[in-house]
Structure formats: C-alpha cells, structure tokens
Structure 1
Amino acid sequence: MLRADVLLLDLVIVLGAARLLGRLARRVGQPPVIGEIVAGILLGPTLLGPWIGDDLFGPDMRPALSALADVGLILFMFVVGLEIDQKLVRGKGKVAASIALGSTSVPFALGALLALGLAGRHAHGRTTAFVLFMGAAMSATAFPVLARILTDRQMHRTTLGGLALASAAVIDVVAWTVLAVVVGIAGAEASTGQWQVLLAVPYTAVMLLVARPLLARLVPAFDRAGRLTPGLLSMVLLGLIASAWATEWMHVHFIFGAFLFGVVMPREGAERLNHQILERLEQLAVLLLLPMFFVVSGLNVDLRTLTVSSLGVLAAILAVAIGGKLAGSYLGARLRRVPARQSSALAILLNTRGLTEIVILTVGLQKGVLDGELYSLMVLMALITTAMTGPLLRRVYPDRRVARDIAEAERAALGVTAAHRVLAVVPGNPVDAVDADPLAGLAAALASARTPSEVVLAHLQPYPHGRLEVGAGLSFELAEMAETMGALEALAARVRERGPNARVVSRFSAQPGAELPGLVLSAQPDLVVVPRDAPGHERIVAEAACRTVTVLPGAYDAAGPVAVHHGSGDAAAHVALQLALAMGRPLVVVGRGRAASLAQRLARLGVDATAAAGPPADALVITPESAVPPPGAHLLVRAEQDADPVDWAGVTRARAEG
C-alpha cells in the first residue's frame, strides 16, 4: 500500500542525495549526472540492502517514483528534440556524416557480435531484439553531456567543438531512429497482435508534414502576446503529452513521441518562444523530475548480484564500447582529412554516453530486452565512459591548445582587412542595455574618420547565475545566446547605416573580465572603445597596443559641443576633433592663450572651433586617461605607444575627402 509519508520522505532523500552527489561530481570535474546515478545506486539494494531499502524504496513506492521519473523523462526528451537544429550541421555536413557513420557503425557491429556471444545467457529467447539493442546501446553518444563539456572548456566556439556538436547531433538522430526500430521489433517478439507498431512510420510523417506547420502558428501568437502566456504553454504541454501517449500506445515508447514533438517545434523566428518554454520547463524537469529518473535508474542496479564471470562480461563490454567508439570516430574523421590530434579529441568526445545511454538502457529494461544483471553492467559502462572523457580530453587536447583555437577562430571570423578597425566592448546584456546603441554610435563616429573602416562589436556572454547543473545541455545558453546575437546584429546593422562596416564577435565565458583582454588583442584593432564598467577594463587599457577611449557614465547624455582641454595631449585632441567632425558638433578648446590660437588654426581649416575658459554645461568632455578622472569628464583617451604628432590639416582634409 502506498504511504504518502514514506513517498514524501523518499522525495526528500532522493533530491538531497542527487544534489549532494551531483555537486561532488562537478567538484572533481565530472558531469553532475554521474553523481546522480551513483546516488541512485547507493540508495538501491547495492548499499542499503533488503532491509532499509525495502522500507524506503520497496515495491509499493517504486510505481509512484517511476511515474514521476517518467514525467521528467518526457520533458527531457522534448528538450533533446528541441535542441536538434540543422544550424549545427550547416557547413559541416560531409565531415559530420563521415564521423557519425564511423562512430555508430563500428561500435554497432562490435556490440552486435558481443551480443551474439551473450545471447545464450541474457537474450531469454529474444535474440534478434537483444542483438540489435546491444549494437544501438554501444553506438550512442550523449549530446547534452557532450555539449556541457564543450561549453565548460569553451570549445563550442572552436572548429573542433562545432564539428563535435554537429557529429553528435547526427549520431543522436540515428541512435533514436535505430532504437525505435529495435523497440518495435522487441514488441513484436514479446507478443502477437501488436499491429499498432506499424503506425509509427505514418505517425512520424503526420508530425512532420501536418503538426509542424500547425505548431508554427505559435510564433505569431507569441509575438502578439509579447510573452509566453499560460494558454500557449498549455497548448505545448498538451501536444507533448499527447504525442508521448500516442507512441506508447503504439508499443514503441513514450520517449519517441516526446522527442519527435521537440523536433517538430518551430525554429524560424521562434528563438524567444523556445527560450521561454525551456526556461519554464527546465526548472521543473532538471531540478526535480530528471534527478528522480536518474535515481530510479540507479535503484534498478544491484551490484551485489555480480559474480566473477560478471566482471569478465563487464571487461568485454568496456572493450567493445570504448574501443569501437574511439576507433570508429577516429577513422571517420581521418577519412575526411581531419588532423590526427583533432581526430583523437573528437573520438574521445563522442565516447561520452551519460544521459542518452541511461535512457536507452532504461527502455531496454522496461521492454524486457535487458535483464537485471546486464542492465547493471551497462550502467557501469555508461558511468565509466562518461567519467573518462574529461581527463582524457585534457591530456590529448590541453587548455593551451583550446586557447589557441579560440583565438584562431576569432581571427578567422574577423578576417584580414586593411580597414581602420575600431573595437567596441559591449558589456552586460545588449538585449536590455540602454547604452548599447549610443556606444555603437560612438564607435561608428570614431571609425568614420578614415576609410575604409569597420567596427567590431565584442561581447562575452557570462553563464547565467545558478545555471542548471543536471543535464539539459546547451538549451538555456543557446537560447540566451541567440537572443544576444540578435541584439548585437541589430546594433551592427545600425553601425552600417552610419557608413563603416560592422562585425560581431560574441561567445560564452565563465570569466569575462579575464578573457576580454585576450579577445581585444586577438582582433588587432586600431582603436578600442570600452566603458569604464566593462569587466577587465583596466587590463584592456593597460595591455592594448593601440589608442583606447574609456567611456564614463553620463557620456551619452552630453548632447552639446565636443570639448577638450588644451594641453591635454595630441591623442585626446585628435579624438575630440574626429568626433566633432563625425557628429557635426562644434569643437570647444578649453583654456587660455594657446587654446585660442589652436581654435583659430582649426577654424581656418574649416572646423567649427572656438576657445572658452571652461567647457559648456552640456558638452562632451574629452581628457587623457588617468586614475582619477577630472570632474565633468566623459571620455578618457590613452595614446598608443610611439604615437606621431597629429597632422591637423591632414585630419580635416581626409575627413573632407571621405
């Protein structure tokens, strides 16, 4: 009989253990999913045994816990389907297909051969389904865990990281397709009369051809509402659960209906919609229901029943799983002429199994394809192959190579150009920042002093505070980055309207203040514009090999003339003249004596320049860089090393000719 008090106590124990061991796993550099599965194993019969274990997680409690775990699995598979995006494969199709083919075919074939040897003891009369299932389980790669490993090491912005994500996305689609076929065969072997399984193919066609266009109507409804309303979210949840029910009724498995519904969700123009859906669902799925699934999966593992012969089977499973995956992935990459070191790193990354493997094994256990002993051994394989990825990757592809790849990718994105390059550091979130547009305008004005010219909008996106730790991969970060990139591209378009070309460089960063100076150096700009409150401001100014302009609070509100103190140095006066000419504002030279003569000289050159004892109240005041800015200053200019004296006539002539 189900007791509510025991069920609630189980929830407390499960969630507490999952969070604790998940945090411990992250502390030692492992994905939290490893700690959560270990928590389930420790709470199961392996440690607690039949005494305490049967009282807390006995036969009466398992159905309720499994029901909660199934709901979490439905939401998770929806997220996995939603993350499958053609953009990941764009431009990498042939290489990704070759790697995916090697990464699935070799371990599949070896897994099937191993299954033939184990069939007499573990197939229980269902040899065909057992052999195909073992092949599919050996060839899986966990896209979400792989994506998290790449983002943690900042490799998702490199060519290698992009290729790994593209290959894993292809493998994911192949793995779920093969598993659906295997489950259908298993259902047919288990009993006769399950004609519903034949509906799986037409159901997939209906979802792609009918449901997808209908779901696209959610986008204009969302745009009209301006937010994800309860009605819109209810429609998504109803469709999701209905799709999961349909595939379960067909004797395939509910995970395929959930996954397929995520695949057919709209993509074009739906970034904000999907972002808000994920934001709502992940809090519930990732923090409550998905850990429940991992722990329930661990409860089904009983290591006490393993014998010496079981250890031999485990060794064979590890040899096939690791050797097949590494060899197949490496060969697939080398066939497309990927360098040897990068091919090795790809093979290690694609050996990650984690979440995807646990889901596949759970399906096999539920459908009776795996028995308890082999399920326990395969779960151990999933844990070992996932845990070994991080340490092996650091050995084969150390951090210094990752840093070099990031710099090369950023230089490649900027290209080689003879244009006068002004780099503007965009701090914070450009989606909400009210100063982002004036900052871009300031950079455009400074760039337009020469032709050809370009503005680089540089932005490092910090990971969200308290980011979800369990396993929805990149879904939240990708959605947030898509929104950020949209805002930055809109800024770039407004810069282009002012004349200069504009480019965007943006990526995730765990420490923007530490990484921004390196980003600035790799761009090789001629001028840097950086707000005083930008992370890493002092290092950027100190290490830049070019002139820098620091923007102080209040600069964007100064709508009057451009003012510069006489004697403040050629660099500050030069920037003041450039801005006055580009913005069409008068130039005020502050000071006495020589200030008036400089103003007269500039006036003879056609500049609207005057002298004054002090800057006007609404002036944009420009001074040299100093530790303590003078009162009323708006822009602080630091000269480049070995700067030549300014040719004032040349500046005005170049401006006129431009």
Structure 2
Amino acid sequence: MLQLGASSLSANDITALLLGIAILLGLARILGERARRYRQPSVLGEILAGIILGPTIFGALSTYLVAKGFLSHNLFELIFPLEGGEKIALDGFITISATLLLFVVGLEVDLSTVIRQGKEAIAVSLAGIVLPFTFGFVIAWYLPDFLGAGPRGIGEDGQLPFAIFLGIAMSITALPVIAKILLDLNIAKSDMGMLIISSAMLNDLVGWIGFAIVLALLPVTAMVIPDPAAIHSATEVVTDAVNNTGSSQVVTTILITLVFLALMLTLGRLACHKALPYVQARWSWPGGVLSFVICISLICAAFTEYLGIHSIFGAFVAGVAIGDSTHLSERTRDTINQFIMNIFSPIFFASIGLRINFISEFNISIVLLVLVLATVGKVSGSYFGARLAKLGKREASALSFGMAAQGAVGIILGQLAREAGLINDELMVAIVVMALTTSLISGPIMQIILRLQHQRKLIDFLTDKQVIIDPTSTDIMQTIGELSKRAAEITNLKAHDIYKAVLQRERIMHTGLPGGLAVPHARLDNLPKPCVVIARHRNGIDFDAPDGKPAQIIGLLLTPTDQPETQIELLSLFAKSFSRNEIRQRALEIKSPTEFLAVLNQAAAEEAEATSPH
C-alpha cells in the first residue's frame, strides 16, 4: 500500500487513480492521433482531451446531473478529486510527466549543431528573443493586474519575476513543433531548415535558463498556491524552516544553478559521452540506454528541485548534456522519444484542462493582446536576425514564421508558472491559445511563402548519366566521393571541391531519412545551375536515419549559393518522389538508369492523377 504522509491510499483511491490515468491517457491519445490525421499538432488534441474531462465540460455536466438528481455522486470529483491521497498521487505522476517531457525537449538540443551554425544562429536566435521579450516585459511591468498576474506575481517582490516570465513566454520557441513543421514541408535538411533548428535550440536554452532565474527570484514567504492542482515543492519546506528569504539567498541559488549548468554542459556532457558506449555494449537494448538516461534526468531534476528551481530545468539540462553525444544514435533517440511522447506527454498536456474552466476563464482582451505581442514580436525579431544573417527577404520571411511557433514549450512554461502562483487561469488560457495558434499558422504560412511559381518534378533535373546503379562504395565517405565524381563530370567542377562541401554539410547533421533514403547536399558558389545525382545502392549505406535503416536510394543535391529556394525545392521533390513504399520497391528492382527514370516518371504521373480534380 502506498504511504502518503500519515495516511495511505485506499482500494477505492487506487481504483479511481488508475481509472483516471487510463481515461486521461486514452482520450488524449485518441484526440492527439485525430489531430495528426488532419495535419495538426497532436498537442491540440491532447489539450482538448483535458478540456473535455475537466471542469469545462465533464465537471460542469456532472455537477448539473447531480443537481437535477440524475446522479448521486459527482463523477468528475470521484475520478479527478480536488483533494486527498489520490489527488496527490495524480499530481506526482503529472510532475514526472512534465519532467520527462522537458528531458526530451533538451535531448533535441544539439550544441554541436548550434556551434557549427555560428554567427547566423546567434543572430536569428537573439534577435528573435530581444524584441518579443521587450514587448512582454514592458506590458507586464505596467499592466500586471490586467494581464493576470498570480498571487506571487504582484507587489514589489513579484513584479520583476512576472515581467521577466511574460517576456520569456513571448519569446520562447517550440523546438519539437518546428522540427515537425520542417519535416512535413520536407525542408528539415536544407540550410534554412538547419538554421531554424539551430536558432530554436539556442532560444530554448536561453529561455529555460531565464525561467530558472525567475523561479529563484520568486518571494518564498509570499508563496500562495490557491490552485488545487499545484504541487507543493519539498524545497519550500526546507526554505521555510531556514526562514531565509533575503536577496543573498536568491543570488546564491542563481549562482549554484549557473554552476550546475556549466558543469553539466562540460564535465557532465563528457561523462555521459564516455558512459554511453559502455551502457550500449553491456546492457540490453533499448531498455539499458532508456534506464540510464532517465536515471540521469531524474537525478538532475531532483537536484534543481532541491535548489528551489523547478525539477524540469534539471531534466532539460540533462537532456542537453546527453543529447549532444555522438554515441546516442538516431534510432536510440527515437526510442526514447516514442516512449515519453506517447505516454507521459499526453498525460501532462491533458492535465492542463483538468483544473481550468476554459469557458469562464476565457478573457478575449488578454487573449488578443498576448497573441498579437507574441506573433508580431517573434516574427519581426526573427526576420531582422535572418536579414543580419544575410538571408534573402523571402527566405527570412519563411524563417521568421517558423520561429514563431510556440506549441508545447510555451504551454509547458505557462503551466509551470501557473503552478508556482505566478499567473492566474485567465493568462494561462491566453498562453494556451497563443501557443496553439502560432503552431497552427506557422506551417501553412511558410508553405505559402516558399511556394514556387512553377511546379517541377525530380525527373526534370535528371538524365541517364545522373543515375548510378549499385555503386561499389561501402560507407558514407566512399558514397559521397563516388557521387561527387559523377557530379564533377556533369558540372565541370573539381570532384574534390564538391566532396569537401558535401562532407562538411554531412558532419553538421546526417542527411539520412526514414524509408531507406538519404539526401547529402551542398550549396556551391561557382555552380551555374542545380545538379542532381542519384545512386541506387542495393546493400544500403548507413546515413544514421531516424528509423535505423540503411539508405538504398541516395540523392546528391547541389545548388548555387544564390538559389536557396532551389535547394528547398529539390529536398521536397526528392522526399515526395520516394514517399510511397511501392515506388521505393520499384526503384530497388530496376537494372538500368533508364528504368529508374521510368519509375520516377510513372510515379509523377500517378501523383498528378491522384491530386487532379475530377
């Protein structure tokens, strides 16, 4: 029997707890999958599940039926009680879900990629932070009551933390949402796509460090959490006992947090890098690696919670330290991501709706103000940064809307601030609406901006000479070398120069795609026009694809430096041409370049017929 303080969970409590988690997870997954079917973020369906099961719909319906005498007990309060042992256990499970979710977000931050992008990523990220942060900070500083400051966000002690928080909330970027949008548009491997990813990584890192500082600045003696869903921190008990709430304690907490961050991103990062090969070699896969990384994340989370900073910050930093290791393969990352994103993530996002009435707490003035500030600030700042990074107007415009997506990360930030008593339910609803709206509009607007005037097919860039059937190469470097040699014959450039440029891009981020595809590519200054060379490799080459499959269809894509849109177009055309399994199978069965081109031509005709109006 699980002991909770002086009492324990009864059989009825355990029954209701397990039933509540099952209902929450089940409906969240069903609606999340339904949202994905309509090409929307799954978090939209997951939050909707919480709204349905929370006081907005299920709670209101249960109360009405009890009042009318149709029910003897309030079903909502039985399954999702507002007090007691079951409520504490459910809140604990939700805390673990949030912690592991932020670990996955941190896992996506590849510091090596950010460093390689250099000045461009810094320019885009910082410009995309400064302007929206300024908007949010100023409006929160002067209008805290109107915006919806919580009990710990008002008064002299709470004014600064509240203003900093809203600035961060306006400027944060949702890395998982952005990555999904880029994958859907088939431009994740393009130069612009990689710049967006790198900038978002840096943005997330700065944002969560800032949020950790906000939590350290919160006045401990003013801790009031009227919300029944809020989770009481063990650190607050320790701090209350010490009864030290002066500025020296705040400074000490911040300094310890920054030291922890520095150590984890240096020595901790190195230790994880050294330990992973041992774990992968001697422990079972994938359970061994999964256990190892989750243990590290929970230990770091416990440490930052002990400091008075939320546990999610420690988990996020652990994810950054572990995710930067080259020993963590894409297949292992995908396994960790699938486990957490399909179990814990839906429960966390659905839980947001359990304690908020989205109808009674919906304030149209706050919603519109937050939405406009976040969108205008983020788009304008990111566009300015992209122009500083020497991107063209069209490319900069697309990038700025990509960076505007807040999605899950903005919602997590808002929920944690709400639990800490920093914001009220009205502002939380506004942040949820803003995060979902920016995520929903980013992809379509990027697609409109990047749409080309003439729709071309991949076969338009190919001749028999540009198709290699069963090359002799056995690894990535040999394959790129063989493709570069053929490209040199077509473009009259030096094979070594092509090879060097493509390999340099490959080292920044592997270009393997699911389904046995790979798209090594480069942009060259002295290339007069785009060049495509495709190799059909029967045995396959390991390009570190997310699904772990070797690449059997490998497309070398070379584009002029002054034609960034062409690179995006070619990446999209390649992915689209081989998106169907039957087309890939046909391509693997052919025996000559001519037959290969025939397969592509037939696939294009079938696609045109399927999409034409009847």
TM-score (norm 1): 0.64
Taking CA–CA contacts closer than 8 Å with sequence separation of 6 or more, which of the two structures ends up with the larger relative contact order? 2
Contact preservation (8 Å) 1:517, 1:539: no
**2:244 matched to which residue of 1?**
193
The alignment partner of 1:133 has SS state of helix
Report Cα offsets for 1:448-483 as digits up to 9, x if no partner. 99999899999973359xxxxxxxxxxxx9963496
**2:17 matched to which residue of 1?**
7
**2:442 matched to which residue of 1?**
389
In 1, Cα distance between equivalents of 2:167 and 2:286: 44
**2:468 matched to which residue of 1?**
424
Q: 1:486 to 1:395 in 2, by over 3 A?
A: closer
Report Cα offsets for 1:86-136 as digits up to 9, x if no partner. 343355322221111221111111011221243135233211111111111
Q: 1:480 aligns with which of 519, 532, 545?
A: 545
**2:535 matched to which residue of 1?**
none
**1:398 matched to which residue of 2?**
451
Q: 1:399 to 1:46 in 2, by over 3 A?
A: farther
**1:124 matched to which residue of 2?**
154
**1:570 matched to which residue of 2?**
none
Out of 376-385 and 221-230, give the one that drifted further: 221-230
Q: 1:402 to 1:367 in 2, by over 3 A?
A: farther
**1:77 matched to which residue of 2?**
102
Q: 2:81 aligns with which of 46, 49, 58?
A: 58
Q: 1:402 to 1:317 in 2, by over 3 A?
A: farther
Q: 1:251 aligns with which of 289, 297, 308?
A: 308
Query: CA shift at 1:259, angstroms?
Result: 1.1
Q: 1:6 to 1:337 in 2, by over 3 A?
A: same
The alignment partner of 2:468 has SS state of strand
> Partner amino acid for 1:16?
G
Root-mean-square deviation (Å) = 4.7
**1:339 matched to which residue of 2?**
392
**Structure 2 residue 138 is the aligned partner of structure 1 residue 108:** no
In 1, Cα distance between equivalents of 2:190 and 2:336: 30
> Partner amino acid for 1:532?
E
**Structure 2 residue 283 is the aligned partner of structure 1 residue 239:** no
Report Cα offsets for 1:354-409 as digits up to 9, x if no partner. 111011111101211111222122212212221222232232223778989x999x
Q: 1:218 aligns with which of 258, 261, 275?
A: 275
In 1, Cα distance between equivalents of 2:23 and 2:142: 40
Report Cα offsets for 1:49-104 as digits up to 9, x if no partner. 34243333221454333322222222222222222113433553222211112211
Query: CA shift at 1:245, angstroms?
Result: 0.2
> Partner amino acid for 2:244?
G
**Structure 2 residue 426 is the aligned partner of structure 1 residue 373:** yes
Q: 1:229 to 1:303 in 2, by over 3 A?
A: closer
**1:141 matched to which residue of 2?**
173
The alignment partner of 1:46 has SS state of helix
Q: 1:303 aligns with which of 349, 352, 358?
A: 358
Contact preservation (8 Å) 1:517, 1:540: no
In 1, Cα distance between equivalents of 2:547 and 2:81: 46
**1:492 matched to which residue of 2?**
none
Query: CA shift at 1:543, angstroms?
Result: 6.3
Q: 1:174 to 1:509 in 2, by over 3 A?
A: farther
State how 1:600-639 maps to structure 2 within 5 Å: none
> Partner amino acid for 2:120?
V
In 1, Cα distance between equivalents of 2:90 and 2:198: 35
In 2, Cα distance between equivalents of 1:210 and 1:357: 30
In 2, Cα distance between equivalents of 1:349 and 1:510: 20
Contact preservation (8 Å) 1:271, 1:482: no
Q: 1:94 to 1:223 in 2, by over 3 A?
A: same
Q: 1:213 to 1:6 in 2, by over 3 A?
A: same
> Which has more radius of gyration?
1
Q: 1:88 to 1:229 in 2, by over 3 A?
A: closer
Q: 1:69 to 1:185 in 2, by over 3 A?
A: same
Q: 1:8 to 1:328 in 2, by over 3 A?
A: same
In 2, Cα distance between equivalents of 1:180 and 1:403: 49
> Partner amino acid for 1:142?
A
In 2, Cα distance between equivalents of 1:437 and 1:135: 46
Q: 1:210 to 1:507 in 2, by over 3 A?
A: farther
State how 1:272-311 maps to structure 2 within 5 Å: 272=329, 275-276=331-332, 278-306=333-361, 310-311=363-364
> Partner amino acid for 1:54?
E
**2:520 matched to which residue of 1?**
none
Report Cα offsets for 1:134-182 as digits up to 9, x if no partner. 1110101100110011001101122221221121112111111111111
Contact preservation (8 Å) 1:129, 1:182: yes
The alignment partner of 1:42 has SS state of helix
**Structure 2 residue 462 is the aligned partner of structure 1 residue 462:** no
> Partner amino acid for 1:7?
L
In 2, Cα distance between equivalents of 1:248 and 1:137: 21
Contact preservation (8 Å) 2:512, 2:544: no
**Structure 2 residue 224 is the aligned partner of structure 1 residue 169:** no
In 1, Cα distance between equivalents of 2:552 and 2:284: 18
Query: CA shift at 1:294, angstroms?
Result: 0.4
Out of 173-182 and 8-17, give the one that drifted further: 8-17
TM-score (norm 2): 0.68
Q: 1:22 aligns with which of 25, 32, 47?
A: 32
In 2, Cα distance between equivalents of 1:13 and 1:388: 30
Query: CA shift at 1:222, angstroms?
Result: 4.1
Q: 1:158 to 1:63 in 2, by over 3 A?
A: same
Query: CA shift at 1:425, angstroms?
Result: 5.8
> Partner amino acid for 1:338?
L
Q: 1:388 to 1:232 in 2, by over 3 A?
A: closer
Query: CA shift at 1:225, angstroms?
Result: 3.3
Contact preservation (8 Å) 1:104, 1:140: yes
**Structure 2 residue 95 is the aligned partner of structure 1 residue 95:** no
> Partner amino acid for 2:385?
G
Q: 1:518 to 1:324 in 2, by over 3 A?
A: farther
The alignment partner of 1:319 has SS state of helix
Q: 1:263 aligns with which of 320, 344, 355?
A: 320
In 2, Cα distance between equivalents of 1:25 and 1:531: 34
Aligned residues: 489
Contact preservation (8 Å) 1:460, 1:516: no
Report Cα offsets for 1:478-498 as digits up to 9, x if no partner. 963496689999xxxxxxxxx
Contact preservation (8 Å) 1:513, 1:536: no
Contact preservation (8 Å) 1:461, 1:512: no
Q: 1:516 to 1:287 in 2, by over 3 A?
A: closer
Query: CA shift at 1:228, angstroms?
Result: 3.6
Q: Any unmatched runs of 5+ in structure 1? A: 412-419, 465-476, 490-504, 520-528, 545-658
> Partner amino acid for 1:41?
I
In 2, Cα distance between equivalents of 1:401 and 1:55: 60
> Partner amino acid for 1:159?
D
Q: 1:237 to 1:536 in 2, by over 3 A?
A: farther
The alignment partner of 2:359 has SS state of helix
**Structure 2 residue 39 is the aligned partner of structure 1 residue 39:** no
In 2, Cα distance between equivalents of 1:486 and 1:530: 13
